[in-house]
Amino acid sequence: MKFTTAEEIYNKAGGKRNGLPAWTYNNAELTELETERVFLRNWIWVGHVSDIPETGDYQCIDLANERALVVRDEAGEVRAFHNMCRHRGSRVVAESKGHCEKAFVCPFHGWSYKFDGGLKNIPRANSFPPIDKDEFGLKALDCEVWHGLIFVRFAGEGPSIAESFAEAEEEISLYKITDMKPYDEPWRWDFDLDWKSVIDIDSEGYHVPIGHPGLFDLCGSSYKDEVLESGIGRSYGSFKDRKAKMPLVKNYIESLPESNYLPESHRHLWIYWGLFPGIVITLFPDMIEVYQVYPTGYQKS
Ligand code: FES
Ligand SMILES: [Fe+2]
């Protein structure tokens, strides 16, 4: 792995220390543009394969005015579609997660769709001029399953998640993420902040000593941020032989089960891999955590 140092980044920016101008954090039109050009045209993390283990299991995600329906089809493949009926555009599925027995039936007039997106049935079809059913299936979305993590892309094109994370592949594959099971419900935090403010802080370890005293007690000055040549980020800290002071942290170190499935080098590391815009994969010795920061409106993320 080839890292870019803070000094190289500084030099690349022509020795300028200022970041984006202040107005970019406080402008409704720009937020709208960023949502459309950045988030709807890049990968959005939806969940893990264990969220939809059986045929007909589905999960939905909305972003801005777009909505995705992700389903496990009859062949066991994970597929994604616009959650939008081809008749008058109703949501085909209203719940955010669930299981469908036979076919998705639109709640408006009852058009039904197979798990591969194909249009199955039109009630009272003879009241319409002849319709070629093959032309009116659900519109497919780009969908990628990488190490058991499911991503969708609403528009645009570009490298796959696997290509983007190529430099992380070797390390991430150690964790056997595909075989993992959820230990808790997903969480969501709503901030009254521009999404860039969240990512600026989150991707920079400088806030750790005061912002996360527990993490600082765990890893001390071993905590580092690295930017790889491809632009993905890796932050990590080690607690090997660490003498922690906080009872909670001491307790964590003492009670952590030996993660024999990992090589010795990774049994006492916390690692955060980050991909623009806002995807973070956190690797702990005994579990992982994945999240994504995205705008939910003006000054909201
Ligand atoms: S909008 Fe779905 S059946 Fe009419
Ligand atoms: Fe933080």
123 and 138 in contact (C-beta within 8 Å)?
Answer: no
Using the atom order of ligand 1, give the atom closest to the CA of residue 89.
1
The CA–CA distances, whole Å, from 129 to 87, 98, 125, 136 equal 13, 34, 8, 14
> How far is residue 153's CA from residue 44's CA, in Å, rounded to a whole number?
6
Q: Which amino acid is at 231?
A: G
Instruction: Measure Cα distances from 66 to 14, 59, 195 in Å.
Output: 39, 14, 18
Which residue's CA is the closest to the ligand 1 atom numbered 3?
109
- Element counts in the chain: helices (H) and strands (E): 8, 16
For atom 1 of ligand 1, the residue with the nearest CA is: 88
Q: Is 213 helix (H, G, I), strand (E, B) or coil?
A: helix
Residue 108 confidence (pLDDT): 97
> What are the backbone dihedrals phi and psi of residue 60, each rounded to the nearest 5 degrees, phi first?
-120, 155
Residue 140 CA, ligand 1 centroid: distance in Å: 18
Closest residue by CA, ligand 1 atom 4: 109
The DSSP bridge partners found for residue 146 are 149
- The phi and psi torsions of 47 (rounded to 5 degrees) equal 170, -160
User: Which uninterrupted H or E stretch holds 61?
Assistant: strand 57-63
Structure-block tokens of residue 249: 């942290």
Domains delineated in the chain: 44-153 (2.102.10.10), 165-292 (no CATH)
* Substitution site in 111, 119, 133, 136 for ligand 1 pocket (most atoms within 8 Å of beta carbon): 111
Residues 102, 103, 105: CA angle, nearest 5 degrees:
135
pLDDT of the chain along its 301 residues, tens only? 777 777 887 888 888 878 899 999 999 999 999 999 999 999 999 999 999 999 999 999 999 999 999 999 999 999 999 999 999 999 999 999 999 999 999 999 999 999 999 999 999 999 989 999 999 999 999 999 999 999 999 999 999 999 999 999 999 999 999 999 998 899 999 999 999 999 999 999 999 999 999 999 999 999 999 988 888 999 999 999 999 999 999 999 999 998 999 999 999 999 999 999 999 999 999 999 999 999 999 999 9
Read off the amino acid at residue 21: P
